[in-house]
Every structure is written in structure tokens, then in C-alpha cells.
Structure 1
Amino acid sequence: MIRVYLIERKSWLFMFAVAQVLVLLIAYLDYAIPLEPLLYIVFLTTLLFIIFLTWRYKKETSFIKRLQDWENSLDMSGIGEASSPFERAIEQALTDQTNRLQQLASQQQIALEQEKDELLSWIHEVKTPLTAMHLMIGRLGDEALKASLTFEWLRIHHLLDQQLHQQRLPSIENDILIENVDLEPLLYMEIKSLQSWCMQKGIGFDVQLDAAQTLSDAKWLAFIVRQILTNAVKYSDKQAPDIIVRSFSQDERVVFEVADFGRGIDPKDVPRIFDKGFTSTTWHQDSAATGMGLYLTQKAAHSLHIRISVQSEVGNGTTVTLYFPKPNELVRLTGV
């Protein structure tokens, strides 16, 4: 700060130095003016100037230091009171700008909440005709047409489900209820929802649940499992080997694993699969991929303190592993 202040006041310093040199030069050239008294005067004025400069440094930089330490949270109370006209002008400009930003932020927050409410309302409204459509599809006699329509219905249903959970994610902390979750009924419910798609592809599930219970939130855990199973079915070829789903205990924690034998993921894409909007560099022409499923899965898993690991090879399938927190860790992190 001292260096910055001296650079800011370099014109003062230069002017004072020029004045002192000029006085000495005049005394040196004019023999009628005694040099020694002038040297004494120059010394005293220089000492007085240094004291004055020190006092001004403390007074002028205190406001600047408060500005540097001020956390720009649209709260001007942390700056303190200005002590000079220039400081008051700066404070007034910052206050006016802060008030405008607060009003703008408030308006945008209200508009965002209204848009979110309207979208959630629209999603719930759309679910009603989708349910009716599913019942109508179930009454069709043409099995081929029935399977095709069920597949398309399932895609729409999952896209709406993704959008619904995406809107709920910002407030997920208020929506979590940690309890003992039985993995078997949760898993079979999600498998059942994919039944028509699996039948169309000729894909089954090999389920081995050695650890059947864990502490988590049932609703959000179901969403995470749904996204993983959907990807496993989506990227498995027809008549591919069964998708292996298993759970087991490891170091006092439950591990849940889904392994498919589909097209796999390119190694260079694995670090990016949880990025928002990322689809694939190998299968970039896949218009069915939205790049949102695994992004939302990772966000929800993070809130539940679940670690996700992905291992994959192109052409050899993908294994997604969920590492649940230890019960003691979960109690410590969530306070339940």
C-alpha cells in the first residue's frame, strides 16, 4: 500500500523536490544569500513534509483499505464513513450503484422464481395426458406398434423427469430426508419402468444385492439409479449380455454397481461425462443425448455425499459405481 500511495502522490513528491533543489540552486548562485541557513531550512521543511506525508498516508489509505477488504455482497455497511469530499463522492457513487444492483437482482430473482414455478406447473400438467397416453398404449393390439410407442413415451417421461429434478436441485437441501432405504424394492421399481425398453432390446438384468439397505434419501437415490440404469439400457446394443447390478459392503460402506456391456466411453471423454451439456466426442452425432443426465446425477449424489466412479472402454461397456458414505460419516455430515 505504501508503494501504491507514493506512486499516486509522485507529482507531490516531484514538486516538493523541485522546490527544494530550486532554493538551494538560488542560494548557490547568489552569493548574497547564505547557504548554511538555507540548508537548515531545507532540512526542517523536508522533515515537516515527511511527517505530513505520513499523516496523510494513514488518513487517505484507511478508506481505500476498507474498500479492498469490503466483501462485495451489496452491503455498504462494511465500508465505514468517508472523511473527505472525494471519499464521500466515491461512497455515494458506490451506494447508488449498489442500490441499482439490489433492485435488479431482486427483480431477476422474482422473475426466475416465477419462471421456475410456471415450468414446474407445466411439467405436472403434461404428466396427466402422458399418463392417459400410457394407458391408451397399453390397450393396443399391435405389439410392434405398442412397443415403439411405449419406447417413445418412456423417452418423453424421462426427459420430463430430468427437467423436474433439475428445477428442484437448487433447493435439494430442503428436500432431503435421510433414512434407511431398502435398495431391492427401489431398484426393481426402476427396472420395471424400463421393462418395455428392455424387452424391445432383448436386455435383462442380473441383480445381486448382498447389501440391501443404506442410509440415504429414497426419492433422490431413485432418481440417481434411474439415470444410471437408463444410460445402461440406452447404450447397450440389442441382445447384449444382461446388465449386472450388484451391491456389497466394503470398509463399512455400501457400494452399488451397475455394469453394462454396451458401446462404452472413450477414455478421453470419461473426465468430462459429468459436465453440463457434454455428450460425446466419439458419438457426437447422437441426437438423443442431452448431456444432462449424468450432470444432474452427480449434483444429486454430491448432496447425498455419494461418490460416483466410472470405468469404461470403447466397445466393452461401462461400469458405474456408487460409494455411499459410512453411517458415522453421514451422521456427522448431515446431523441426522
Structure 2
Amino acid sequence: MNISFIIRAYLKSRIKVMVAFILFMLVFALVYALYHLPFEPIVYSAELVTALAMIFAGLDFMHFYQKHQSLAAAIKAATAGVGELPKPRDLLEEDYQSLIRVLAENRADLISQFDNRQTDMIDYYTLWAHQIKTPISAMGLLLQTEAGDREHTSAYMQELFKIEQYVEMVLQYLRLESMSSDLLLVECDLADLVRQAVKKYGIIFINKKIALDLEELNCRVLTDEKWLVFVLEQLISNALKYTSQGKISIYLDEWSEKTLIIEDTGVGIRAEDIGRIFDRGFTGYNGRMDKKSTGIGLYLCQQVLNKLSHSIMVSSQVGQGTRVRIDLSTKRFEAL
């Protein structure tokens, strides 16, 4: 903190003392004047008293500054508790410190209760997401063995697939905070990862009659297979959701190293929405048209890619489509 600010704060805190000192000096000067004493002793006395006052003020300022430093250090260390506070000068300061300690203890209790409830909630939803997969799988098997109308069965399978994807998104959202402990960075074949993601959405491509233009992806990337496939699935899902006709193209950018592009011919994204599409819960104009949009998918993609040291960029034109660029190049770190 600026020393001039501390000096101003000190003077402000001692304003009553300074006013009292000036009043006392004026009283002594008035008494000397009433008794017609020589002027020289008045000046000498004032100089002596002022010098002593400056010495005491300097010592008092040093104590004030040290106390401020101690409190500043206690504030920085206040995450676990109040730490060691300066020794109180009087009963009032002791009362203030007692109040601070009580508030800090209450705050710690509230944080502990919140963390426990948060942990219980995450455990519950994680358990729910795993348990709901069983009836989803059972329904899928029943539909596959159903000998009824194949068109209706295919539509049911597609809706069931969407439910499964939403459940998977819940699981990944819950795992996001502890993602760092779940990472396994290895060199992977990018073509294999893309094929995994595309294969999962095969039924949607067929039902919506959307063409897939998948170019050769002769590239190996250092990443986490499970999390990057999750990102690719989300991006392909978005492309399919907002593309009613045309095609989805997946290829490598010839001008950038290890940059994967997923491009669609869908409705596109408005210019005013582009800057906020990665915000949690933001759905934009397209999301408001599609009432089922959650605004979570792209947020999760960016969070995952950030933890993988990858980056994502989106460009789009309304009515012409959207292009998503994922930079998968290896970042180099130098020890300082």
C-alpha cells in the first residue's frame, strides 16, 4: 500500500489529538500574553514542546505502521482463520479482536457446512446419473427387439439416445472440478478420436439425412482421450442440432499446426452472441428458438480444453453455418 496513504490514514486517526495539542498551545500563549511575559520564552517553550510532540508522533506512527502490517498479514492469511492479531492496546481493541475471532469461527462453520452439503449433492447426482443408465440401456434393448413400426422405433431410439447424452453431460459437469486428478495425457491418433465421436452420432446423421465430410486426419496429439472425445461429441452434437440440411465437415486446417476444424451448414450464430457462447447458461438467440437448449455444452468444452492446454475459437455467419477451430498443438513450458 502507498506510504502516503498510510500517513494520511494515521493523521486522520489522530486528528483529535492534534486539535487538542494546538488548543493547549494557544492556551499557554494566551496566559503568557495576559501576564505580559517576554516573547522569547514563549517561542522557546513552543519549540521544545513541538520537538517532543514530533518525537512521540514518530514513535506512535511506527507503532501504527507495524500494527497495520500485522493486520494486513492477518487478512492475507484469513482463509483458514484470523491468524495472529496485534496485541491489543486497551479493552476496546480486545473486544474488537474477540468479535473478529467469533465471526471467523462462524464463517468457518458455514463454509464447512456448505462444503458438506455440496459434497452430498454431488455424490447424490453422480449416483443418480449412474443408476439412470441402467433403465436407459434396458429401454434401448427393448426397442431393438421390438418388432413394430421401424420408423417409430428409430425415432424412439433417437430420443433415448438424447436422454443418454444429457445424463453423460451431467456426469462430466460433476467431474469438472476434480478433472485434474482424472487426466491421463498420452499421444493419441486424432483420426481415431474423431471416429469415436462421429460413430456415436451415426443414428442422428441418418435420421436427419445430414452428410458427413470427414477428411483424412493424419495427426497425433498429446491429450486426454476420454475428455477430448467428450468435447468432440459436444461439438458434433451442436452442429447436428442446428443443421437441418447440408453437411458437417471435419478436417485439419492446412495453415495451422494440429488445428481441427468442425464446420456445419446450419443456422449460424448471431454476431452479438459470439462473444458469450462460452458463458455458462448462455443460450443466445438460437437457444431461445430451441427451448431445450441448456447453455452448458460449450461452457464445458472450453473448461475442459483449458485444462488440457488446448484452445477453441468459433466463427459463424447467420444462415451460412458455423466453424469451430480447436488448437491441439503441444504447448512448450520453460522453467524460470
Q: Answer whether TM exceeds 0.5 for this pair.
A: yes
Select which of 12, 15, 40 maps to 1:10.
15
Cα separation, 1, equivalents of 2:105 and 2:126: 31
In 2, Cα distance between equivalents of 1:204 and 1:88: 75
Contact kept in structure 1, 2:190 and 2:217, CA below 8 Å? no
Q: Secondary structure at the match of 1:45?
A: helix
SS state of the match for residue 276, structure 1? Answer: coil
Correspondence for 1:208: 215
CA contact (8 A) 1:312 1:318 kept: yes
Which of 245, 252, 255 aligns to 2:250? It is 245
> Deviations for 1:159-197, whole angstroms, at most 9, x for unmatched residues?
111111000000111010001222233222222221222
The separation in 2 between residues aligned to 1:6 and 1:218, in whole angstroms, is 62
Q: Does residue 94 in structure 1 map to residue 94 in structure 2? A: no
Gaps of 5+ in 1: none
Give me the whole-angstrom Cα distance separating, in 1, the residues matched to 2:161 and 2:131. Answer: 17
Counterparts of 2:99 and 2:265 in 1: how far apart (Å)?
A: 63
Partner of 2:3: none
| Residue 143 of structure 2 corresponds to residue 137 of structure 1 | yes
Give the 3-state SS of the residue equivalent to 2:95 in structure 1: helix
Identify unmatched segments of 5+ residues in structure 2. 1-5
- Matches of 1:254 and 1:299, distance apart in 2: 20
The answer to whether the Cα contact below 8 Å between 1:183 and 1:213 also exists between their aligned partners in 2 is yes
> Is residue 2:34 matched to residue 1:24?
no
Q: 1:172 to 1:283 in 2, by over 3 A?
A: closer
Q: Distance in 2 between matches of 1:30 and 1:314?
A: 94
Distance 1:107 1:283 in 2: 36
Q: How far is the alpha carbon of 1:90 from its aligned partner?
A: 3.2
| Contact 2:221–2:329 (8 Å) recurs in 1 | no
Q: Which residue of 1 aligns with 2:52?
A: 48
Instruction: State whether structure 2 residue 165 is matched by structure 1 residue 161.
Output: no
Please give the per-residue CA displacement for 1:275-317, whole angstroms capped at 9, x wherever unaligned.
Answer: 0001013552321110000000000010001110111000001
Q: Distance in 2 between matches of 1:159 and 1:119?
A: 13
Q: What is aligned with 2:302?
A: 298
Deviation of 1:135 after TM superposition, in Å, equals: 1.2
Q: How does 1:166-205 map to 2 (within 5 A)?
A: 166-205=173-212
Residues 242 and 266 of structure 2 are in contact (CA less than 8 Å); yes or no, is this contact kept in structure 1? yes
Equivalence for 2:240: 233
AA in 1 matched with 2:43: L
Offset, 1:45: 1.2
State whether residues 262 and 318 of structure 1, in contact with CA within 8 Å, keep that contact through their aligned partners in structure 2. yes
Q: How many angstroms apart in 1 are the aligned matches of 2:41 and 2:296?
A: 83
- Which residue of 129, 145, 157 maps to 1:150? 157
Distance 1:309 1:73, change over 3 A: same
Instruction: Please tell me the residue identity of whatever aligns with 1:119.
Output: Y
Are the structure 2 counterparts of residues 333 and 246 from structure 1 closer, same or farther at C-alpha, using a change threshold of 3 Å? farther
| Contact 1:204/1:243 (<8 A) preserved | yes
Percent identical among aligned pairs is 27
CA RMSD of aligned residues (A): 2.0
1:119 aligns with 2:125: yes
May I ask how many residue pairs the two structures share in their alignment? 326
- The 2-side partners of 1:294 and 1:333 are apart by 30
Q: Quick one: structure 1 residues 217 and 249, their matched pair in 2 at CA, closer, same or farther if it must change by over 3 Å?
A: farther
- From the superposition, tell whether residues 282 and 197 of structure 1 become closer, same or farther in structure 2 (CA, over 3 Å): closer
SS at match of 1:243: strand
- TM-score, with length taken from structure 2: 0.91
Contact 2:242 2:267 in 1 (8 A): yes
Q: Which amino acid in structure 2 is aligned with residue 295 of structure 1? A: Y
Which SS does the other structure have where 1:269 is aligned? helix
Query: Normalised by the size of structure 1, how large is the TM-score?
Result: 0.91
